[in-house]
Amino acid sequence: MSKKSMTTATLAASLTGNPEAAKRVARHQAETRFVRTLIDMRVARKLSQRELAKNMSVSPSKVCRLEASRDEDLNLGDVFLYLKALGMTMSVIFDDPTLPAADRIKHHVFAVHDQLEQLQKLACQIGGEDAISDKIKQFYGEVLFNFVLRLGDSYAKLPSVTPIRLDGADVPSKGSAHRKNADKHFSAANV
């Protein structure tokens, strides 16, 4: 029996003979992306809608309705409750595209710093001799390396600048090629 792999959007267009069907499928997927993520998280925790409803102290039909919604129809309170029932929290980033890029970058740097501080507190609680603590220290190295790498990449693309040298090697003019080499070096060094 012959068969081929295809996306559901192209399949819809093929079966209906209407290319517009593919666009409509793609639009529906875009409009329900957040809801799908919620469902995926519930399924990953092996919870049925009924079990989740019990954890949320709501009726199963409410969970059913929530999971059948479009993203824009979701109620923020319901989402918080849903996530709480999954044992999760939600971080919201308010991103104003009209703000200067510098302000938006600062915002993200502060957010990363907050996460690193939480990790640091965890490492302090565990103590210095634990394997988890070693992994955290290693992770800090990875974060630093990756950050500097990407910063260097972007910096090198600025007009009239001297590229940042990371490892003493000759720095190629193209940032991406440099990153490829540096990634190899990174893996070998096992920072």
Partner 1 sequence: MAEMWKISEILAEKNRFKAFDKKHPRELAACFSNLGHVVELLNRCGDVGAFQVAFFRSEGENVYRIGQTGVQHAVETRLYVYVSVVDHTVYVLTIGDKTQQADDICRCKEAVRKVEKRRNQ
- Tell me how far apart the alpha carbons of residues 40 and 33 are, in angstroms, rounded to a whole number: 10
41 binds partner 1 (CB under 8 A): no
Nearer to partner 1, 4 or 158 (CB): 4
- Tell me how far apart the alpha carbons of residues 70 and 74 are, in angstroms, rounded to a whole number: 7
78 binds partner 1 (CB under 8 A): no
| Alpha-helix residue ranges (DSSP H) falling in 45-92 | 49-56, 60-67, 76-85
143 binds partner 1 (CB under 8 A): no
Find the part of the chain contacting partner 1 (CB under 8 A) among 66-74, 76-84, 162-170, 171-179: 66-74
Give, as ranges, the residues between 8 and 37 that touch partner 1 (CB under 8 A).
8-9, 11-12, 14-18, 20-21, 24-25, 27-29, 31-32, 35-36
Taking alpha carbons only, the member of 105, 103, 135 closest to residue 119 is 135
174 binds partner 1 (CB under 8 A): no
Cβ neighbours of 32 (radius 10 Å): 19
Contact 191, 138 (CB under 8 A): yes
Shortest Å distance, C-beta 86 to partner 1:
15
Which residue has 């965890």 as its token pair?
122
64 binds partner 1 (CB under 8 A): yes
- Tell me how far apart the alpha carbons of residues 50 and 55 are, in angstroms, rounded to a whole number: 9
Residues that bind partner 1 (CB under 8 A): 1-9, 11-12, 14-18, 20-21, 24-25, 27-29, 31-32, 35-36, 39-40, 43-44, 46, 48-49, 64, 67-70, 73
